Amino acid sequence: MSQPRTLSDSPNPRRKFPAFAKRLIKGLAALAIFAVVGLTMLLALLWREHKTEVTLPAPAGHFAVGRATYAWVNNARTDELAPSSGAKREVVVWIWYPSAAATSGAPEEYLPAPWRSALAQHSGVLMSQFFTRDLSLVRAHSTSDPEVSPERHSYPVVIMRAGGGALTTDYTTLTEDLASHGYIVVGFDAPYRTFVVVLPDNRVVIRPPTNDPENLQADQANRLITDFCPCGPAIRRLL
């Protein structure tokens, strides 16, 4: 005859729960450790890549390449995107061109130091220190303000406008290659349109979110993009 089971003989779910909880906590702790180690390794690899020197692809043409930079002010026109009324339209102009000799002039920085500092300051730590390359370690092939090559009497001119708020120097590989094939490439960065612009007097102009085409509806973005080229009328007159 079977004996009745007492309360102490019956399974106690409370005894199993602590063991399960311990295994769960250990598993979560292991996952957290793996996540921290993995993230640390990823950031270390990104930092290493960030601090690695890189040389841009060499231009394929036979001309050496020079680069000159200017700041132009249109005193006849105000900038309607400027926060203060009456501000004149300004642009920073970058010109790549066939130069006289490969050894003439000092090596040109990919992006001048004041621009790098402004870009890093307004891009955030992750973007400026991990997700992009240290622009001071990017080596271009242009030299600073050499004489124009006398090989030809004239050279065709290419007007280049970087897309959206990108910097003109983002396209250095393209502009240097065009210049090496005998083109003068004129690009410009415009305050309140380009993401960041550093003017000769060290003013730093950041594009406000209201001027970002990605934040606008299609018709507004098209109007803004159309106005992104402040030298458009002058180009049309030249053409």
Per-residue pLDDT of the chain (239 residues; tens, 9 = 90+): 555 555 455 555 555 557 767 777 777 777 888 787 777 777 666 556 666 888 899 999 999 999 999 999 988 888 887 888 888 889 999 999 999 876 556 788 999 999 998 988 877 666 656 567 788 889 999 999 999 999 999 999 999 888 777 899 999 999 999 999 999 999 999 898 888 999 999 899 988 777 766 666 666 666 665 665 545 544 443 33
pLDDT of res. 96: 97
- Is residue 13 domain-resident? no
Tokens (6 digits) for 67: 């680069």
Q: How far apart are CA 197 and CA 208, in angstroms?
A: 12
d(CA 237, CA 239): 5
The number of domains in the chain is 1
Domain membership of residue 88 as a residue range: 54-238
Is residue 24 a part of any domain in this protein? no
User: Residue 36: inside a domain, yes or no?
Assistant: no
Gyration radius (Cα) of the chain, Å: 29
Domain presence at residue 9 = no
Instruction: Specify whether the CB–CB gap between 73 and 88 falls below 8 A.
Output: yes
Specify the pLDDT at position 177: 97
The count of other CB atoms within 10 Å of the CB of residue 93 is 16
Residue 92 lies in a domain: yes
Round to whole Å and give the CA distance between 92 and 187: 8
The C-alpha atoms of residue 147 and residue 103 are separated, in whole angstroms, by 11
- Rounded-to-integer distance, Cα 44 and Cα 150, Å: 49
Q: Does residue 191 sit within a domain?
A: yes
Q: In a 3-state reduction of DSSP, which class is residue 52?
A: coil
Residue 31 lies in a domain: no
Q: How far apart are alpha carbons 36 and 32 in whole angstroms?
A: 6
Assigned domain for 22 exists? no
> What pLDDT is stored for residue 237 in this prediction?
39
